[in-house]
Amino acid sequence: MATAARRVAGRLNEPRPALVEAAFDGTPQRVNRQGVALVGEEWRVVDRWWTEEPVSRRYFEVVLETGENAVVFRDEERSGWFSQRGA
């Protein structure tokens, strides 16, 4: 039973494709057609470079015009934008 719960929790945090319009410097301006009111934090994750599936991401924590908080990232390995929520 605990194993099934861990699998479900893991899926909650799976990255999902996101529609992001970014400024020239890569900062999100719109996320899923909603304007970005504030970029709160930005960070990079570079990991697993020694494997066949390296991770290179630029994350942004944003507040949308609706007041909703969101975390989006640009996956530099897959050349796409994704959103991710905590479990």
30-81 pLDDT, tens per residue? 999 999 999 999 999 999 999 999 999 999 999 999 999 999 999 999 899 9
Instruction: Place 16 in a pLDDT band, splitting at 50, 70 and 90.
Output: very high
Instruction: Place 87 in a pLDDT band, splitting at 50, 70 and 90.
Output: very low
* Between 10 and 11, the higher pLDDT residue: 11
| Residue 33 backbone phi and psi in degrees, to 5 | 70, 10
The pTM for the full model equals: 0.80
CA distances to 18, 35, 71, 80 from 62, in Å: 13, 10, 6, 17
